[in-house]
């Protein structure tokens, strides 16, 4: 599900069961990440799928990439793997106005 920056943040802040997932490359993450995000690079192919499958399906995942395209694909992959709650950040990190570490 695609969420605007505002909806993504307000839903995330109210969600005690939230996990932030960054699907960018390591080099992109070196430019800054959203606090508390875990990084699983979507370009890792099967390794990406293996790492996603190891995650807790009962959690709610707030997924982002640079612009929102890879994270939308990651959410679709997660849905196919049985994750019910994967939320894509529209506009991605490029449009992120929140905190960065």
49-61 pLDDT, tens per residue? Answer: 999 999 999 999 9
Active-site option among 65, 77, 86, 89: 65
**Distances from the Cα of 75 to the Cα of 23, 27, 44, 100, angstroms:** 10, 22, 15, 22
CB 19 within 8 A of CB 62: yes
**What percentage of the chain exceeds 70 in pLDDT?**
100
What's the pLDDT at 64? 98
pLDDT average, residue stretch 67-88:
98
Beta-bridge partner residues of 18: 60
Tell me what the pLDDT averaged over the chain comes to.
Answer: 97
CATH code linked to domain 2-94: 3.40.250.10
Please state the rounded mean pLDDT for residues 5-32. 97
pLDDT class of 7 with cuts at 50, 70, 90: very high
Q: Tell me if residue 65 is catalytic.
A: yes
Summarize the confidence of residues 27-45 as an average pLDDT: 97
Domain ranges of the chain: 2-94
């Amino acid at each position: 599900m695609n969420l605007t920056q505002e909806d993504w943040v307000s839903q995330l802040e109210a969600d005690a069961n939230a996990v932030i997932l960054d699907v960018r490359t390591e080099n992109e993450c070196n430019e800054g990440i959203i606090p508390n995000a875990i990084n699983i690079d979507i370009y890792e192919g099967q390794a990406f799928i293996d790492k996603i499958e190891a995650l807790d399906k009962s959690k709610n995942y707030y997924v982002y990439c640079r612009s929102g395209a890879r994270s939308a694909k990651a959410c679709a992959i997660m849905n196919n793997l049985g994750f019910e709650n994967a939320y894509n950040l529209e506009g991605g990190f490029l449009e992120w106005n929140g905190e960065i570490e």
